Structure 1
Amino acid sequence: MPTEREQQILDLIRQNPLISQKELAELLGMTRAGLASHISRLIKKGLIVGKGYILPPNEHITVIGAVNMDIAGTLQSSELIPKGSNSGAINNQLGGVGRNVAANLAALGVATNLITVYGSDQNGEQFAEDAIRRGIDISSAQQLPNQATAMYMYINYQNGERFVGLDDMTINQAITPEFLEARLPLINGSKQVIIDSNLAPKTIRWIYAHVTVPIIAKAVSVTKSQHLLQDNVNLASLVVNGVEGTIFTGEKMTTLAEAKQGADSLYKMFHCSIYLYVDNIGIVQRTVDGTNCYQYQSDTEVVNTNGLGAAIAAGLAYATLKHKSTTATLTLVSQLAELTMETAENVNTKATAQIVDQ
């Protein structure tokens, strides 16, 4: 929060964004050196973004995470033949948890800043064009020359359940603490920050130590989820599926009763709100107020679960931004989850604020 003097400076800048330091100092009866000190603190707090007194957009959310091209396969048969050719459907689409979260937020009408890295290839160009079309701000993202955009290949059973996945996401190693340091004013000027565990452990540790606004984390994959578990965990909420939850706790989470117990264990481990989702069952919400559950509607037709966690994370951030109650938040994220499962796309374009706020 700004001090009284800092708020006076911000008010004057809002009235005249082109005002000079000399004019500010004169209006406030301060020395140039004294004003410069206040300006420096405002930048560190994220209330001013860099030079030129650029004010961050109101109520924006920053997403820090991966973008990739998904190569998705769905089996035609209910059984997979090992070492043989299996009939099915194959399609390519943009994905990555960070990108999917940002796309969901944009669909919900939230000003969204996506910090990521992508390649100088055709997939990278497609990502940039898609982000602009959706209204996602990627001015703080970076296109890396002579590098390929991350890729993720996976095969699903007919019911949308994942059989196997293979990722090539080396490019995300470029999202380092040094990379984020220059973007910290914008990050801390956000209402909330959402991260995913595609980030390197050292980067997540740095985020925990330097980000001063509420952080939502989305666990990603059994091999990367534990990146989130540091000795300086600083999370408001964790979104995690049953398989990833088991990696953290060692407990089975395949039934609603097991998921309730698992969510409680995760709450004690991370000391933050837990949103645990289990395929074909529902979502368990564990907060300081207790445990609540939402069972998916029996008529929900599951087509693809790949974008499920990203939709839940985006819905949670949106609900928090709109000051929804704990109960209303669970209902909202569950509605988004069901809408997402019913489409082959990673992001359901029908999942807008008009739909979830009804």
Structure 2
Amino acid sequence: MHRGLEQSLPHSLLDDPQLGKQVALNLKRNRAQDATEAMEAAVAAYRFEDCQHSAWNPEQYALLWGTALWHESSPSQRRLLNQLYWVAYYSQIMSAEIATIFLNQVSAAGLYAVEDFRPICDSLDLETRQERAHIHAFKTIGEDVEHRLFGRRIFTYPMRHPMTETMVFADTNGLRTWWKGIQLRAFTAMAGNPFLGSQYLLIRGLRTLNGKIVQHKLSQYYEHHPDQANAPIPAAISWYHFSDESFHFHTSRLVGVEVPRVLPKPTAFERWVVNQGVAGCQRDHYHFSSAVNGIFWYDPALYRPIYQVLRSPAFGLDHGGAMQMLHRSFCEDSEGVQAAAQTHREAVASYRLFVDSISWLSAGNREMRHMAGNNTHRYLRTNRQAYARFKGQAAALERTHNLLQTARA
């Protein structure tokens, strides 16, 4: 671009040379450390038989760790809970990345028209390609595990489109899901707006900040494995994924927090849109899950899939035993509940720090007031109330289980 000629907008990355250098360096490093080929090779080499007798995550990252189910499980069952955490956790990450693939392009459409913003758009293009590799890896392994262990889906799902509820197990219904789709379509209609394009990355950064913290811990299992060449392939994929996502988060911070200072000041409407997006993130992340610590699922939505796990041959509980275990694991305080609540508090603190300097956010959004309103007392009360309702549906689950058993026989 020649600075001597009039440009369509009076702002560009050239107005902040230091920021331009940071953006270019982030892209250069992401290209240099791109884990796509390594991840694709790992998926191609994956065989469940090779890794079914190993943990895939650090011990604390297991399904319902620290609850009654965990404490009363055998070593082999604990190993299975560890592996199912991987399947469940990355099923949620896959859902988020499906949306990211689409919304990255919406963001780029707004930023590409601004002078010298090509490095940002190139970063988003690279990240989109990486997300496709991540989705393929998580989907391939997750579906294989569930097919082998249960013969049906538990936490996985058929391929989704981006205009849907991102949280796989959410406190939602048909009307809320429909309204969420309307909101997403409305945002995409604003493609071409540079400020809103940058602010999608702000919201993306918020939504992935806790994930970055958790995924760093998951990646440690492979990074510190004494025999990486023979480490479980899912653990290696966690490490490759974290390597990519570290750059993705840095992109979110640069574009969402730093880039707006070289753009025109946001209008009242633009500020309103961004605040609605951050408020939506707070609503989505209000809950915390003792089933999958680090994913902010609505645990009552997990009663059915966990019931199915408990009735499977891996745990072999009868109907009464499965229902009792559900109550003890979700409705009674435990080490697992306290650990999930602590993760949630850490997320609130890190979200506040991330948006502290954003002047166009409301006080309620900067302080994460809604998200911070949850606690263990409310969590347990919600779970107990939902369990009382779930007991009324349990007879149908028992009939379905018996029909499946008969069909397999």
TM value normalised by structure 1? 0.28
Whose RCO is larger (CA < 8 A, sep 6+)? 2
Structure with greater strand percent: 1
